[in-house]
Structure 1
Amino acid sequence: MTAIKTVAFVEPSFYGVSFARVAFEQGHKVISIVSSTENPQKYGYEGIYHDLIVADIRDEESLYQAIVGSPYANQLDALIPATDYASHVTAKVAERIGLRGVPYEAALKSRNKDLAREAYAEHQVPSAKFKKVRTYEDALAAAEEIGFPIVLKPTNCASSQNVYFINDAIELKNAIDTILAFKVTYMDFKVRDEYLIEEYLDGPEFSVELFVKDGEPIFSAVTEKLTSPLPYFVEILHTLPTSVHVEHEDHIVRTAVDALRAIGIVNGPSHVEVKLTSTGPRIIEVNGRPGGDNISSDLLVQAFGVDIFEATVNYYLDNPINIQKRFNRAASIAYVTADREGIFDGIEGFAGLELNENVIRAQLTAAEGDLVTEAKSSDDRLGYFITVGNTPEEAKELALALKETLTVVYHQHETESAAG
């Protein structure tokens, strides 16, 4: 057991709750810096922290002053972002108080897709052709230059929020009207009024789960992804390790590492999204933290016995890092979605999933009475379940077969619809 340290997490939520849990279980003193005292209950980490500090996590100075004005001034051993949106703010404050972490400029680039694309281009890392736009006129000129179909997306959001696949000028006008009205994202972070028009990348999608030291990977794994039908890009299945295109794994990993270097991440964890196009791997985006969507918290643990969150806490504390695969299996996570708008009543067959010995967890994220719709972002998914197998093919095929047995049920005697 390492010495007990004082570890602060900025706004634990979603994947970031795993950070707090790991540090708490290691015996460290866990401080949560939050925008509201209600957030531990909201995000499900009551009982796994020792104290709260309230700050405006969107504002560097508020975060800094909250720390230096707290009982933990000059006592923190680590300051760790536990939500994507506060990663650059956290990095800047960590630099100010002399703690290690992702460099501020690298965190800023990973949070802002236009800055990242510029860095990839500067360092000859294959990604997508792009133009930054503000208006419909800008967007139309960019789309005509790049060539339809194109992708329109915000520069600083996540979870596929307002990401559009667009075939023509009419679709572009409709999407621009919607995205211009999108002003505030999660946790009240402002949406920048600059957007990206990007070349649509063909081919299957993957993510690379990485831990790098001095610019080289000490751990890597490639996750296979299935996404919803166009025009949306919602992830509906992850399989780790990949069951397909294994002959390209080394190339995919190397491209991901090159992208990290381009934006300045040379130490610590990362989650890099890649498409294997007809011209080779090309970068979608880089995140300087462990993968979310249950990839790091569940799939890596089930497939390899690897706890990236533990390694990450040790990295921030400058403790020894030892990432070793304890076994070689595979795991998949399948997400259930609605195929239309309606009032959610439940998912027929869902309660019986855990009777299968190879299903390790099944969880609903929608509640009876919720208004649900065809999945346009990750927020619209209704629930998930996780399967394991001796091979990626086994885990994936079981997940897909079980998903076919589920039926989304709607209120008011509406017609039942097969799960998406």
Structure 2
Amino acid sequence: MTTVKTVAFVEPSFYGVSFARAAFEQGHRVVSIVSSTDNPQKYGYEGIYHDLIVADIRDADSLYEAIVGSPYANGLDALIPATDYASHVTAKVAERLGLRGVPYEAALKSRNKDLARQAYAEHEVPSARFRKVRTYEEAAAAAEEIGYPVVLKPTNCASSQNVYFINNAAELQEAMEIIVAFKVTYMDFKVREEYLIEEYLDGPEFSVELFLSEGEPIFGTVTEKITSPLPYFVEILHTLPTPSHTEHTDEIIRTAVAALKAIGIANGPSHVEVKLTRTGPRIIEVNGRPGGDNISSDLLVQAFGVDVFEATVNYYLDRPIAIDKKHHRAASIAYVTADRDGVFERIEGLEALSRLQHVVRYHVAAAPGDSVTIPRSSDDRLGYIITIGDSPQEAKERALALVDSLKVVYRQQEAEIA
């Protein structure tokens, strides 16, 4: 019989909701540490936690004091970050409490892209040339040194927020004005006033879903990504396992493991983004947690029967980890996006999806009356479809065909009516 443990999650949201659900369904006592009591309803995990603790999850001291001042002061068996932005703060508090987790320095590097790039360079992990900048003048000098085209991005954000493909100095100046004004991101975390100018890596993009034990992968697979047209980098399709460039799978996985070792992650789940360039795989970024965008919550489950969230909870609790592939098929998720700016009314063609056996689920995030735009970040996507297939190519083709069969309908503007 499983012994009930007390597992605390810091601010479950997005992919982190699956964490809370996994622990809850394992029969553990689930405590959510949140910045607002409205968050369970906001992020969709009402009914899968037992207690709430309110803290400033942006501040390690506030988080620590909230825990030691709670009924769980000496009773937590695990403290798990359930949002990217709080991962380093959670790691710092977990170390202070003597709990298992990602080392603080490693979590800090994975949250801050400049620190990660420095670590890759020091350990000779193939990455992108980069410069950290604060002003347009510094950015222009860095771009000239690296050579256009370049990529401009924040050092500590996610979801492709304010990531720009830059062809020349005029585009760089315009983008710098926008990014410098970008002060606060999700959950009121501050955007660092330091930015990256990076070499643009040309080639197909992948992510590597990994689970490490003492630096060695006990699970690994490669996901193919398709992103929106430049100048943006929004992910609009994932297929797991990859249907393309399969001859490079082992090399891609080895490069991802090397990147994790470089920043100090030797255990647990990770999601590593890679581009396959003419010179081989090169690292985009490392995340010391399961992949989001339904990769872990749906695609891994559908393709292999793998529950990485359950395995991760067991890792944090120092319990045996079962992460073997139970079957072999493929799954894909394709996102519905707007092809122009406008006011959203509905998506036509959805009613046919529920009759298709190869459709696992579909979801519409946009509501009638919402202002929508061509995707500049993940927040701009309107919905998704998840499909399965006997092969990766079949799952991918089904997802793409279904998205293409849908029609985004925009609300007629008053000016047009007049």
Bin of the TM-score, shorter chain as denominator length: over 0.9
TM-score normalised by length of structure 2: 0.98
Could you tell me how far 1:351 is from its partner in structure 2? 2.9
What is the one-letter code of the residue matched to 2:30?
Answer: V
Residue 418 of structure 1 corresponds to which residue in structure 2?
A: none
| Residue in 2 that maps onto 1:302 | 302
The separation in 2 between residues aligned to 1:408 and 1:140, in whole angstroms, is 39
For residues 42 and 285 of structure 1, the distance between their equivalents in structure 2, rounded to whole angstroms, comes to 28
Question: What's the counterpart of residue 194 of structure 1?
Answer: 194
Alignment of structure 1 residues 1-400 onto 2, 5 Å: 1-400=1-400
1:401: which partner in 2?
A: 401
Distance across 2 between alignment mates of 1:249 and 1:85: 30
Question: 2 CA distance for matches of 1:404 and 1:55?
Answer: 44
Q: For residue 404 of structure 1, what is the amino acid of its counterpart? A: D
CA deviation map 1:220-242 (0-9, x unaligned):
01000000000000000000000
Q: CA deviation at 1:340?
A: 1.1
What is the identity, as a one-letter code, of the residue corresponding to 1:240?
Answer: L
> Partners in 2 of 1:59 and 1:330 — Cα distance?
41
CA distance in 1: counterparts of 2:270 and 2:258, whole angstroms:
12
Distance (whole Å) between structure 1 residues aligned to residue 388 and residue 172 of structure 2: 41
| Alignment partners' CA distance in 2, 1:353 and 1:145 | 50
**TM-fit CA distance, 1:2:** 2.5
C-alpha separation in 1, matches of 2:228 and 2:356 = 26
Report the alpha carbon displacement of residue 352 of structure 1 after superposing the two structures with TM.
2.1
CA offset digits 1:323-347 (Å, max 9, x no partner): 1111000000000100111000011
Q: Deviations over 1:1-41 (max 9, x none)?
A: 43110000000000000000000000000000000000000
Letter in 2 for 1:298: D
Distance 1:136 1:351 in 2: 49
* Equivalent-residue separation in structure 2 for 1:153 and 1:17 (angstroms): 27
Amino acid in structure 1 at the alignment position of 2:209: E
Number of the residue aligned with 2:411? 411
Instruction: Show structure 1 runs of 4+ deviating over 4 A.
Output: none
Q: TM-score, normalised by structure 1?
A: 0.98
Shift of 1:322: 1.5
- CA offset at residue 413 of structure 1? 6.3
Match of 1:283, SS state, is strand
- Unaligned runs of at least 5 residues, structure 1: 415-420
Give per-residue Cα distances to partners, 1:27-82, cap 9 Å, x unaligned: 00000000000000000000000000000000000000000000000100000000
- Equivalent residue pairs, number: 414
Amino acid at match of 2:338: A
Structure 1 Cα separation of the partners of residues 350 and 227 of structure 2: 21
Q: Structure 2 counterpart of 1:109, which letter?
A: K
Mapped partners of 1:122, 1:112: distance in 2: 16
Q: Secondary structure at the match of 2:223?
A: strand
Separation in 1 of the partners of 2:353 and 2:212? 37
Gapped regions of structure 2 (runs ≥ 5):
none
Give the AA of the match of 2:348: E
**Which deviations, in whole Å up to 9, do the C-alpha atoms of 1:247-274 show, x marking residues without a partner?**
0000000000000000000000000000
Q: Distance in 2 between matches of 1:207 and 1:48?
A: 29
Matches of 1:365 and 1:350, distance apart in 2: 13
SS of the counterpart of 2:351? Answer: coil
For the aligned residue pairs, the C-alpha RMSD in angstroms reads 0.8
Once residues 361 and 77 of structure 1 are traced to their aligned partners in structure 2, the CA distance between those partners, rounded to angstroms, is 34
Residues in 1 aligned to 2:362 and 2:369: alpha-carbon distance in whole angstroms:
20
> Aligned partners of 2:249, 2:367: CA distance in 1, in Å?
39
Write the letter of the residue equivalent to 2:175. Answer: A
| Inter-partner Cα distance in structure 2 for 1:28 and 1:287 | 26
TM superposition shift of 1:354 = 2.1
State the distance in 1 between where 2:366 and 2:221 align: 30
Deviations 1:273-328 (A, max 9, x none): 00000100000000000000000000000000000000000000000011111100
Task: Name the CA distance, whole Å, in 1 between partners of 2:379 and 2:2.
Answer: 38
Give distance in 1, aligned partners of 2:165 and 2:19.
Answer: 34
Residue type of the alignment partner of 1:246: T
CA distance in 2, matches of 1:341, 1:312: 40
Q: What CA distance in whole angstroms lies between the structure 2 residues aligned with 1:297 and 1:168?
A: 40
- Cα distance in 2, alignment partners of residues 39 and 148 from structure 1: 42
Match of 2:25, as an amino acid?
Answer: E
Give the Å deviation of 1:356. 1.1
